[in-house]
Amino acid sequence: MEWANQLCENRQFGSKMTDSKYFTTTKKGEIFELKAELNSDKKEKKKEAVKKVIASMTVGKDVSALFPDVVNCMQTDNLELKKLVYLYLMNYAKSQPDMAIMAVNTFVKDCEDPNPLIRALAVRTMGCIRVDKITEYLCEPLRKCLKDEDPYVRKTAAVCVAKLHDINAQLVEDQGFLDTLKDLISDSNPMVVANAVAALSEIAESHPNSNLLDLNPQSINKLLTALNECTEWGQIFILDCLANYTPRDDRESQSICERVTPRLSHANSAVVLSAVKVLMKFMEMLPKDLDYYGTLLKKLAPPLVTLLSAEPELQYVALRNINLIVQKRPEILKHEMKVFFVKYNDPIYVKLEKLDIMIRLASQANIAQVLAELKEYATEVDVDFVRKAVRAIGRCAIKVEQSAERCVSTLLDLIQTKVNYVVQEAIVVIKDIFRKYPNKYESVIATLCENLDSLDEPEARAAMIWIVGEYAERIDNADELLESFLEGFHDESTQVQLQLLTAIVKLFLKKPTETQELVQQVLSLATQDSDNPDLRDRGYIYWRLLSTDPVAAKEVVLAEKPLISEETDLIEPTLLEELICHIGTLASVYHKPPSAFVEGSRGVMHKRLPARTGSGEGTESPDVGNVAGGSAPEAAPSIIPSQGDLLGDLLNLDLAPPTTTGPPPPTSGMQMGGMDLLGGGLDSLLGGDIGGSPAMGAGFGAAPAVMPASLNAPVGGGLGDLFDLGGGVGMPMGAYIPPKTVWLPAMKAKGLEISGTFARRAGVIQMELVLTNKAMSVMTDFAIQFNRNSFGLAPAGPLQVLTPLGPNQTIEVSLPLSTVGPVMKMDPLNNLQVAVKNNIDVFYFSCQYPISMLFVEDGKMERQVFLATWKDIPNDNESQFQIQDCHLNSDAASNKLQGSNIFTIAKRTVEGQDMLYMAIKLSNGIWVLAELKMQAGNPNYTISLKCRAPEVSQCVFQCYEAVLKN
């Protein structure tokens, strides 16, 4: 090992001429020169040349042409040179696999070196060279190194298994490396354990179903022991691995928590956050009345606050995570508002995140302080920050009712500053305040109207227009104000156009006499001169509404709006649960599930919080995991619905009666309406009952007639389409309810006969029971209980049989059900075991509920999300069924299905065959995607179902059949 000597010499030499010279700019013919130098006889010159090559490689020049020359330098005793050549090899071996093989011998030899540092170096580098031929030679040395006497070599070899797996997974399995790796979890050296855990976790990620890590109480115990002894990084690997474990019961959960809490005092923020993740997850399983639960909650706050004194980048990561934690368990940080106050020197990304958390923590107790801060922030320099501060004031008003008045006056103060973007932002939030507290603050409208001219952002303009339309009756010159917007109608953004259309229609309905001209103008602008189908369609709806039945129009357009909820920007609960399982990771920074930004098979696995279980029923909990395993939704990556969405919602609400969520969006006007609709649809519009009221009739008779002929086809289509959905808009078809069947015959239950069915009404699952007393004595004291079942159905209240049931008397009871009960997989899946008690005895029966009861109302999906999810689910999970003898056209079918919360996402027609793409969401968050194929004239439909939990497919199919045939 003479190289060390040389090395020292070289360094001395190097101190005179520093390494930075290698970065100097290059001339033409450089490669040629380097080649010559690499082949030089002088060792020094060689090394200099390799350094130059590495420097060129670093700055991104292609030096792969020098491959043979560089590899030739490898046969040296000089370790520094060797390492440089290795570095080169790692980069370029792939491009020259045949040449790379030259290096194998050296590697194999080095793996036998007496010096453990060299053995480790060889196995580490070899794993980085991603050439099949080299990998073959890697197996034997790797096997030896995994059992090396030196822990340094073992810990390096452990990571090497992960490298090899990345190149050739099959090879790793065949060679039995996985088992060796598993053995290393019991290694005596903590760092070897940590690296083995890291490697196994990574490999397990690409085999979602394999039980590679095989976490059980024994192995968990080993990990917890290693946790106390290994490096900070090792602690992170182990904690992240622990977080994937589901304890058997609350006792185990508590004991793990107890052993993890000391990590909260670690100086490394990542260790702290990973510990927080484990605690947040396992806490789910602890009963809330447990003393320890409270202790744990208290222990979590201080370390989270401490994270805020870390470097700004870490603060940012911490804040994004705190944002999640605050949503999940607001009690942890509710007294810590002050630490989230913005500091003048905070980087902007820290400021924005702090602001977000301040709003989440705002409550009656601290609102005065918060408002004072927010007002301060609204005078800062950064535009985004100021906007967010203004918006935050509005959100405080909505969240804490007592503060609303103060917030409104603060906003008015800010409007007085006349700073353009402050004014606009204030108007946008004031609109929300109006929605939340109707008839309370309308006195400020006058002030708002003064600023009409300065609004140049679509969102602010739209908000202002909404306000004018909504309160048209209180604003004297509402028509003038709206008219002023109308001039540049076509230059406005769609958002503003839609809002303007609605506002003018509202105005017209409130003051019909003065504004006829205006409404005609806007309707013709929207329907005739616009290319935007949304705008056109909405225009036609209003037009038709106004012309057929002005009274109905009034009821629809001026319907009372539901109040907006307090927190508009909460993360959807299932997503939040998943993100809590990813605390500390990128997913928690992006607030998106890993599948949204990780390619390939990694990260597809969805994590969920464990269900709370008592210690007695421990064994079932893994089952919960399985059923729910692949179920968290892909959808809703949008973190905070922008104000734009909110506005969109408002608009939708204007259209639909308050109780429904509105019709599914028509896929496209062109496609859906066939030519046949044209005749009927449009004619009826033109010739039909125009004369609704004399005042309007006169105006409306003529207008549509001047529609350009070329527009007819699409327009007719669009309208026809609307008509079809007409039924859906006003009165959605009810969900399918199976006929009542006898569940418990009288002879089996001492005279009590129970028949019944299940229904879903307004989002609530009802069990409708008919109890008949066929005995001779009076029955009283009814009670009901369910056994654990697949979807956690449980009575949401007691069985309401208030009067005693006399002989031959029948009573109908409806029992609301919840889906938060204990879960156990049943066979068949939709089986429900019920116990009914009365004064005579306890009776048991079982019944099956249609799974459609569990389809929730928010099962709609974005088309892109649908597409992505469809692709994402492996084909193995697809099942196909036939529905025979069904005579519905696709639209009718779609309507019917929608009644049962099966939502059509898209429709496609290929060669006379209609394909409907549909999405269903189950109450436990499982998504089912369906493709329904139907051919005109053929009564047999084909349906394909795709779901991450394929067990449900059969049940879902049964529902389709039942719904479509009834």
Partner 1 sequence: MIGGLFIYNHKGEVLISRVYRDDIGRNAVDAFRVNVIHARQQVRSPVTNIARTSFFHVKRSNIWLAAVTKQNVNAAMVFEFLYKMCDVMAAYFGKVSEENIKNNFVLIYELLDEILDFGYPQNSETGALKTFITQQGIKGQFQTKEEQSQITSQVTGQIGWRREGIKYRRNELFLDVLESVNLLMSPQGQVLSAHVSGRVVMKSYLSGMPECKFGMNDKIVIDKAGKGGVTDEVGKSDLGGGGSTSGKQSIAIDDCTFNQCVRLSKFDSERSISFIPPDGEYELMRYRTTKDIILPFRVIPLVREVGRTKLEVKVVIKSNFKPSLLAQKIEVRIPTPLNTSGVQVICMKGKAKYKASENAIVWKIKRMAGMKESQISAEIELLPTNDKKKWARPPISMNFEVPFAPSGLKVRYLKVFESKLNYSDHDVVKWVRYIGRSGIYETRC
- Binding to partner 1 in span 89-108, by CB under 8 A: 91
Q: Least distance to partner 1 from the beta carbon of 243, Å?
A: 11
- Segment near partner 1 (CB under 8 A), from 150-158, 471-479, 558-566, 873-881? 150-158
- Segment near partner 1 (CB under 8 A), from 255-263, 478-486, 924-932, 945-953? 255-263
- Segment near partner 1 (CB under 8 A), from 280-288, 414-422, 729-737, 866-874? 414-422
Contact present, 848 and 828 (Cβ < 8 Å): yes
Exposed / middle / buried, residue 740 (Cβ in 10 Å: 0-12, 13-18, 19+): middle
Please work out the total of residues on this chain that contact partner 1, with binding judged by CB under 8 A: 122
Of 5, 186, 295, 659, the one binding partner 1 by CB under 8 A = 5
Q: Does 573 bind partner 1 (CB under 8 A)?
A: no
Instruction: Please report, as residue ranges, which positions from 155 to 184 form the binding site for partner 1 (by CB under 8 A).
Output: 155-156, 159-160, 162-163, 166
Q: Least distance to partner 1 from the beta carbon of 350, Å?
A: 9
List Cα–Cα distances, 232 to 228, 464, 628, in angstroms.
10, 55, 33
Of 597, 601, 626, 764, the one binding partner 1 by CB under 8 A = 597
Q: Least distance to partner 1 from the beta carbon of 899, Å?
A: 39
| Alpha-carbon gap, residue 280 to 276, rounded angstroms | 6
In this complex, which beta carbon is closest to partner 1, that of residue 20 or of residue 884? Answer: 20
Of 255, 306, 363, 913, the one binding partner 1 by CB under 8 A = 306
For residue 387, the SS3 value is helix
Q: What are phi and psi of 461, to 5 degrees?
A: -60, -45
Of 13, 36, 95, 117, the one binding partner 1 by CB under 8 A = 117
Question: Which residues sit opposite 813 in a β-bridge?
Answer: 769
Q: Does 263 bind partner 1 (CB under 8 A)?
A: yes
**CB within 8 Å of 901: residues ≥ 6 apart:** 735, 760, 852, 855, 856, 857, 859, 920, 921
| Alpha-carbon gap, residue 35 to 65, rounded angstroms | 9
Q: Does 316 bind partner 1 (CB under 8 A)?
A: yes
Q: Does 190 bind partner 1 (CB under 8 A)?
A: yes
| Alpha-carbon gap, residue 89 to 100, rounded angstroms | 7
Q: Least distance to partner 1 from the beta carbon of 563, Å?
A: 34
Of 138, 142, 172, 273, the one binding partner 1 by CB under 8 A = 273
In this complex, which beta carbon is closest to partner 1, that of residue 151 or of residue 751? Answer: 151
Q: Least distance to partner 1 from the beta carbon of 115, Å?
A: 6
Instruction: Please report, as residue ranges, which positions from 709 to 738 form the binding site for partner 1 (by CB under 8 A).
Output: none
In this complex, which beta carbon is closest to partner 1, that of residue 83 or of residue 612? Answer: 83
DSSP 179-222: HHHHHHTT-SSHHHHHHHHHHHHHHHHHSTTS--S---HHHHHH
Q: Least distance to partner 1 from the beta carbon of 222, Å?
A: 15
Q: Does 445 bind partner 1 (CB under 8 A)?
A: no
DSSP 439-476: TTSGGGHHHHHHTGGG--SHHHHHHHHHHHHHTGGG-T
DSSP 51-117: HHHHHHHHHT---GGGHHHHHHTTS-S-HHHHHHHHHHHHHHGGG-HHHHGGGHHHHHHHTT-SSHH
Of 195, 499, 520, 574, the one binding partner 1 by CB under 8 A = 195
Site string for partner 1, 329-368 (x = CB under 8 A): ---------xx-x-xxx-xxx-------------------
Q: Does 639 bind partner 1 (CB under 8 A)?
A: no
Tokens of 197: 């855990």
In this complex, which beta carbon is closest to partner 1, that of residue 128 or of residue 962? Answer: 128
Q: Does 312 bind partner 1 (CB under 8 A)?
A: yes
**CB within 8 Å of 6: residues ≥ 6 apart:** 43, 78
Site string for partner 1, 222-251 (x = CB under 8 A): ------xxxxxx--xx--x-----------
Sheet harboring 842-848: ordered strands across?
783-786, 831-837, 842-848
Contact present, 276 and 325 (Cβ < 8 Å): yes
In this complex, which beta carbon is closest to partner 1, that of residue 152 or of residue 437? Answer: 152
Q: Least distance to partner 1 from the beta carbon of 388, Å?
A: 13
Q: Least distance to partner 1 from the beta carbon of 4, Å?
A: 4
Instruction: Please report, as residue ranges, which positions from 7 to 26 form the binding site for partner 1 (by CB under 8 A).
Output: 7-8, 10-11, 18-20, 22-23
Exposed / middle / buried, residue 125 (Cβ in 10 Å: 0-12, 13-18, 19+): buried
Site string for partner 1, 58-77 (x = CB under 8 A): xxx-----------------
H/E element, 155: helix 151-167
Contact present, 727 and 733 (Cβ < 8 Å): yes
Q: Does 534 bind partner 1 (CB under 8 A)?
A: no
- Segment near partner 1 (CB under 8 A), from 79-87, 480-488, 635-643, 682-690? 79-87
Site string for partner 1, 20-59 (x = CB under 8 A): x-xx---------------------------x--xx-xxx
H/E element, 760: strand 752-761
Establish whether the linkage from the previous residue to 828 is cis, with ω within 30° of 0.
yes
List Cα–Cα distances, 311 to 264, 301, 307, in angstroms.
18, 19, 9
Instruction: Please report, as residue ranges, which positions from 877 to 936 form the binding site for partner 1 (by CB under 8 A).
Output: none
Q: Does 198 bind partner 1 (CB under 8 A)?
A: yes
In this complex, which beta carbon is closest to partner 1, that of residue 597 or of residue 844? Answer: 597
- Segment near partner 1 (CB under 8 A), from 280-288, 413-421, 659-667, 745-753? 413-421
Of 41, 291, 560, 599, the one binding partner 1 by CB under 8 A = 599
Q: Least distance to partner 1 from the beta carbon of 88, Å?
A: 11
Q: Does 313 bind partner 1 (CB under 8 A)?
A: yes
Q: Least distance to partner 1 from the beta carbon of 848, Å?
A: 40
Q: Does 4 bind partner 1 (CB under 8 A)?
A: yes
Sheet harboring 810-818: ordered strands across?
741-744, 752-761, 764-773, 810-818, 794-795
In this complex, which beta carbon is closest to partner 1, that of residue 558 or of residue 596? Answer: 596
Q: Least distance to partner 1 from the beta carbon of 229, Å?
A: 5
| Alpha-carbon gap, residue 801 to 771, rounded angstroms | 9
Q: Least distance to partner 1 from the beta carbon of 114, Å?
A: 7
| Alpha-carbon gap, residue 355 to 373, rounded angstroms | 10
Q: Least distance to partner 1 from the beta carbon of 410, Å?
A: 16
Contact present, 156 and 120 (Cβ < 8 Å): yes
- Tell which residue, 86, 171, 95, has the closest CA to residue 131: 95
HSE-CB at 602 with a 13 A cutoff on CA atoms is 8
Exposed / middle / buried, residue 781 (Cβ in 10 Å: 0-12, 13-18, 19+): exposed
Q: Does 291 bind partner 1 (CB under 8 A)?
A: no
Question: Which residues sit opposite 914 in a β-bridge?
Answer: 909, 934
Q: Least distance to partner 1 from the beta carbon of 451, Å?
A: 14
- Tell which residue, 390, 489, 379, 400, has the closest CA to residue 431: 390
Q: Does 747 bind partner 1 (CB under 8 A)?
A: no
In this complex, which beta carbon is closest to partner 1, that of residue 317 or of residue 754? Answer: 317
